Amino acid sequence: MNPTESGYFGEFGGRYVPELLMPPVLELTRAVQEIVPSEGFQAELKAALRDYVGRPSALYRCPNISKDLGLNLWLKREDLNHTGAHKINNCIGQALLTRMMGKPRMIAETGAGQHGVATATAAAMLGLECVVYMGAVDVERQAHNVRRMQLLGATVVAVQSGTKTLKDAINVALKDWIANQRTTHYCIGSVVGPHPFPQLVRDFQAVIGQEALEQFAARNMGGLPDAVVACVGGGSNAMGMFHAFVPHESVRLIGVEAAGSGEPGCWHSATLTKGTLGVFQGVRTKLLQTADGQIDPSHSIAPGLDYPGVGPEHAFLQSAGRAEYVCLNDDRALNGFFTLCRREGIIPALESSHAVGWVLDNPGLLPKGGHVVVCLSGRGDKDMGIVEDVLARQGGEGK
C-alpha cells in the first residue's frame, strides 16, 4: 500500500519535524511526486541498476542446507550487488534525485557502514560531495567500511554523542540538513524518518522482492514460495523484499529482529516484538522506550540492526496481521553465519545471519518440502573483526 498524503500507514508514519526542516521535507515530497515517476529518471535508474549495480541479483537455492532442513532454502543474493549489499539500490536512486534537484551535496548516516559505502559510491559516480555520519562505536567496529568510504572520496564524521551508534548519527545528520538544506540532500538509508522517506526508500528497494517473485515463479512453474524472511533493523531490506509479496496472502512475511544476548533485561533491538508506540526522529512508529518516553539503548551484534526504532510500514503490517515479526539472539545469529559459511560457501553479513539463523532454528514452523526465500541483504567481509573478537572470547572456531 501507499501512505496517505500526509504520510501515514494506518496510525503509523507522518512528519514530526521541527519547522526549520519542513521546507526541505516538502521540497523532497514534490520531487518524489514529479521527478521520480518521470520517464527520464526511471530510464536512468534502470540503466544504472543494470549496468552499474549488476541487477538482477541471483536467486540461489542452497542445496546442502535444504537437504539438512527438509525444505528448500532460497537466498536472494543482494550480497552480489556492487558494494556488497542491498543499500546501493536506494542510494543510486537518491543520488540521481539529488542531481536532478540541483543539489551538489549528499549527506548520510550509517551503522554497519554499507549505506555509507553505497552513498559514497553513488556520489562519486555522479560527481557529488558526500559526508557520512557514523557513531564512534560503529566507526571502530566497522573500520573496513570507513576506509572504503574515505577511498571513495567521502568525509566520515565520527559522532561522539549519546550511545555513539546509528540513532546518534541520524540526529547529527538531521542538524546538518537543517543548516545546509539549500545545497544538501539527506540520503536516509532505511524506511524510517518523516514522510516521504519511508515510501521513497521502500520504492527504490522494492526491486528486490519484484525480482524474487519473478525469478521464483520462473523456476517453480509459476508458483509462490511459502514464506519470505528478512532481517529487520530500520527495515529497508525487509520492506524491499516484502512489498511485492504483500498482495499474495498465501505467502508468509517474516521479519527477524535482533534480541541482543537474549538474557533477561539485556539491551536488544527487537522494536516490533518488544517496543511500544511513540514518536522518534520524525515518525510515529514502534520504539524501544521507557515508561516516560525516553529512548532505551539498543544493541545487536550486527551494527546495521542496532537501532531503537523501525519503519512505520512494518509497524502497520504487524498491526494488520499481514507480517510476522520474531527475534533472534546474537548466538543464534552467529550460528546462521557459520552454517552458511561452512555448508554453502557463502559469508553473510551478520544482519542477514539473523534471518538465516531463524530459518535454521525453526524448520518445524515451515512446510516440510516447502520453499522459503531469505533476503541475504549483504556480505560479511565487513563483520570479520566482530566475528574474530567473538571467537577469541569463546576460545574456538565457531560451530
Q: What is the DSSP string of 35-52?
A: TTTSHHHHHHHHHHIIII
Please indicate whether residue 112 or residue 25 has the higher confidence score (pLDDT): 25
Average pLDDT over residues 196-200: 98
* pLDDT tens-digit map of 224-243: 999 999 999 999 999 999 99
CATH number, domain with residue 232: 3.40.50.1100
Q: What's the rounded mean pLDDT across residues 23-35? A: 97
Q: Is residue 1 part of a domain?
A: no
Average pLDDT over residues 163-179: 92
Mean pLDDT across 192-198? 97
In this prediction, residue 163 carries a pLDDT of 87
Cα three-residue angle 342-232-145, rounded to 5 degrees = 65
Contact 245, 239 (CB under 8 A): no
Is position 2 within any domain?
Answer: no
Based on the residue annotation, tell me whether 354 is a catalytic residue of this protein. no
pLDDT tier for residue 59 given thresholds of 50, 70 and 90: very high
In a domain, 18, yes or no: yes
Confidence band, pLDDT 50/70/90 cuts, at residue 154: very high
3-state SS class at 218: helix
Residue 238 has which C-alpha cell?
525487509
Residue 286: inside a domain, yes or no? yes
Average pLDDT value for residue range 264-277: 95
Other Cβ atoms closer than 10 A to 360 = 20
- Flag whether pLDDT at 107 surpasses 80: yes
Mean pLDDT of 249-266: 95
Reported as a pLDDT band with limits 50, 70 and 90, residue 395 is confident
Is residue 215 within 8 A of residue 80, CB to CB? The reply is: no
Is 327 assigned a catalytic role?
no
Tell me what pLDDT residue 41 has.
Answer: 98
194, three cell numbers = 518523516
Q: What confidence score (pLDDT) does residue 142 get?
A: 86
pLDDT band at 112 (very low <50, low <70, confident <90, very high): confident
Is the same domain home to 42 and 166?
Answer: yes
CB crowding 317-332: b at 16 or more within 10 Å, else e: bbbeebbbbbbbbbeb
Nine-digit cell string for 241:
523484499
Predicted local distance difference test score (pLDDT) of residue 84: 96
H/E stretch holding 377:
none
What gap in Å lies between CA 257 and CA 289, rounded to an integer? 16
Q: Find residue 376's DSSP bridge partners.
A: 77
Confidence of residue 391 (pLDDT cuts 50, 70, 90): confident
Q: What contacts 26, CB < 8 A, 6 or more positions away?
A: none
Query: Is 280 part of any domain?
Result: yes
Question: Is the same domain home to 92 and 216?
Answer: no
- From the candidates 82, 86, 195, 371, give the one annotated as an active-site residue: 86
Return the CA Rg of the chain.
19
Report the pLDDT averaged over residues 59-71. 98
Does a structural domain hold residue 218? yes
Reading the block at residue 67, the C-alpha cell is: 537437504
Q: Could you report the per-residue pLDDT of 125-153, keeping only the tens digit for each?
A: 999 999 999 999 999 988 989 999 999 99
Are 167 and 307 found together in one domain? no
pTM of the model: 0.96
Q: Among 225, 252, 226, 250, which Cα is nearest to 238's?
A: 252
Instruction: Tell me what the pLDDT averaged over the chain comes to.
Output: 96
For residue 381, pLDDT over 80 is answered with yes
Full residue range of the structural domain in which residue 106 is found: 8-49+87-201
Do residues 32 and 75 both lie within one domain?
Answer: no
In this prediction, residues 250-272 reach a mean pLDDT of 95
- Predicted confidence at residue 398, as pLDDT, reads 59
Same domain assignment for residues 275 and 326:
yes
Final residue of a structural domain among 201, 221, 249 = 201
Q: What is residue 166's predicted lDDT score, i.e. its pLDDT?
A: 84
The DSSP line for 6-24 is T-EETTEE-----GGGHHH
Instruction: Summarize the confidence of residues 327-333 as an average pLDDT.
Output: 97
pLDDT confidence of residue 399: 53
73 and 92: one domain?
Answer: no
User: Rounded to a whole number, what is the distance in angstroms from the first to the last CA of the chain?
Assistant: 41
As a whole number, mean pLDDT of residues 218-228 equals: 98
Residues 222, 190 share a domain: no
Is residue 171 over pLDDT 60?
Answer: yes
How, if at all, do strands 155-159 and 129-135 pair? parallel
Residue 396 has pLDDT above 70, yes or no: no
Same domain, yes or no: 100 and 153: yes
| pLDDT attached to residue 207 | 98
Verify that 125 and 232 share a domain, yes or no.
no
**5 three-class SS:** coil
Boundary of a domain, candidates 173, 201, 229: 201
Domain boundary, last residue among 179, 201, 223:
201
Q: Does 242 lie in the same domain as 187? A: no
Amino acid identity of residue 202, one-letter, is R
Q: In the predicted model, is pLDDT for residue 280 greater than 70? A: yes
How sure is the predictor about 393, in pLDDT bands with cuts at 50, 70 and 90? confident
Strand partners, 185: 106
Angle between helices 197-205 and 87-100 (to 10 degrees): 120
Q: Which residues contact 363 (CB under 8 A, 6 or more apart)?
A: 69, 70, 71
The string of DSSP letters for 124-160 reads HHHT-EEEEEEEHHHHHHTHHHHHHHHHTTPEEEEE-
Adjacency order of strands within the sheet including 283-287: 8-9, 12-13, 283-287, 276-280
Residue 13 has pLDDT above 80, yes or no: yes
Residue 3 lies in a domain: no
Domain total in the chain: 2
Q: Do 176 and 319 belong together in one domain? A: no
Taking alpha carbons only, the member of 307, 320, 319, 257 closest to residue 280 is 307
On whether both 33 and 127 belong to a single domain, the answer is yes
Is residue 68 in a domain?
yes
Taking only the tens place, the pLDDT of each residue in 349-374 is 999 999 999 999 999 999 999 999 99
Please report the pLDDT score of residue 397 as a whole number.
Answer: 60
Residue 18's nearest CA partner among 279, 276, 206, 203 is 279
pLDDT score recorded for residue 271: 97
